[in-house]
Structure 1
């Protein structure tokens, strides 16, 4: 009995040591991945990285991580020559294949990634053709306000617009309807100011835009992709 108790105590101690070592290892790996993501994407701040699953050391041995969650703030993307600030982007990366050894981590690629990117209306306004203000219009619509001059008369219109994603890389803003007041050509001129397409580039390789929703806090864009480069 005494020998059994000693064995149980030793097992508990060893188990505790293993958990501590495992958690220290995952903390180190999270820091390394964060640094790699920061360098790869040219970020000013280090992202928040969380590696899921236990034990971590067995995942390292297999060079395969079950899930890695990444949250990045202030991502600078490019939209047809204009810089577009993505306020926050979160991503869940599944089945992540790691390159290199644990001590010499060189890169990682996720078989599948899903997430959300958020663009403020102020930043969306800067990305528009005319720079006219874009705001939340309610009911999953955005409100775009623009002015045009027709026959010496300045006409200002606020239109409710739908936002969609085209070809996995482009945000499209289109007015549902433009009040014309019977003036010839006013709808076309207003649309030239309020309607726009913006192709977004600079996101991690393999990550595509899927759906855009207008919320009171900004434009929320669903992203997803396969073989997404996490770091390298």
Structure 2
């Protein structure tokens, strides 16, 4: 019979490997947690400065995108910072502006500030390569403004997606990259006529003129065709100009858009300070 050599025990090697793996995983989790914690501090400091800059009653939502945050912090270059504030009021009696439910959004591209300054809240030297800013005007404000002329209820905003057939072959195609200063709209809601609640759908367009939105109504449909005599009055009531002023960071509005529930003004500005100097 041939004698067999017993296999060597591998328990110590196996345990050492498992310990190494656990250690690496734990260290990785700690580094990730530290990275998120550091990012949270940076977001808080930016939110504080943005509350002052945008004159908000509460801190806006701030998100520093990109992982790891620590690498961006070491470079002092934060590639994409998103700022969002909702329910923002805006009142300017001299210009006749009274908006109460604005949504403000800003996308900051390459915010440049040293980590030590950011953590201390000292961002006086911070600069931003480019800011995409937008202000969203919602149905609530439109309903209130329109009701100053004729009482409306439940006004809603939507794009006018009806298919148009008035196209010509001689018209040059629009540049898809060019800012859109006009957009088709559909405004629907209800109004009271002689004690009767009438539903309506108004079709027209919004146009960006000198930084303000001008609404023009071309067609109105009523659920009661016998009341067509009130259409001119409704058209006049919905012909509204809304001027929310400049966009975040002083960007000039160059584009207008319609989405379900809101109008949006958009604009871009380059090489701006994070806070007013």
Q: Return the TM-score normalized by structure 2.
A: 0.59
1:160 aligns with 2:203: yes
Q: Which deviations, in whole Å up to 9, do the C-alpha atoms of 1:183-219 show, x marking residues without a partner?
A: xxx97x9876543433322542233333333344222
Task: Let me know the Cα RMSD of the aligned residues.
Answer: 3.9
Contact kept, 8 Å, 1:77 with 1:202, in 2: the verdict is: no
Deviates more, 1:220-229 or 1:58-67: 220-229
Distance 1:209 1:124, change over 3 A: farther
Q: Structure 1: give runs of 5+ residues left out of the alignment.
A: 146-156, 179-185
- How many Å separate the matches in 2 of 1:69 and 1:217? 22
Residue from 100, 116, 119 that aligns with 2:137: 119
Residue number in structure 2 paired with 1:208: 252
Count of paired positions = 212
Residue number in structure 2 paired with 1:171: 213
Residue number in structure 2 paired with 1:33: 46
Contact kept, 8 Å, 1:86 with 1:117, in 2: the verdict is: no
Distance 1:202 1:117, change over 3 A: closer
- How many Å separate the matches in 1 of 2:98 and 2:127? 26
Distance 1:43 1:105, change over 3 A: same
Contact kept, 8 Å, 1:117 with 1:223, in 2: the verdict is: no
Contact kept, 8 Å, 1:136 with 1:215, in 2: the verdict is: yes
Q: Structure 2: give runs of 5+ residues left out of the alignment.
A: 1-12, 161-183, 190-199, 221-230
Residue number in structure 1 paired with 2:121: 105
Larger radius of gyration: 2
Distance 1:54 1:190, change over 3 A: closer
Q: Return the TM-score normalized by structure 1.
A: 0.69
Q: Which deviations, in whole Å up to 9, do the C-alpha atoms of 1:29-62 show, x marking residues without a partner?
A: 1112112212222222222111111221232232
**1:141 is paired with a residue of what secondary structure?**
strand
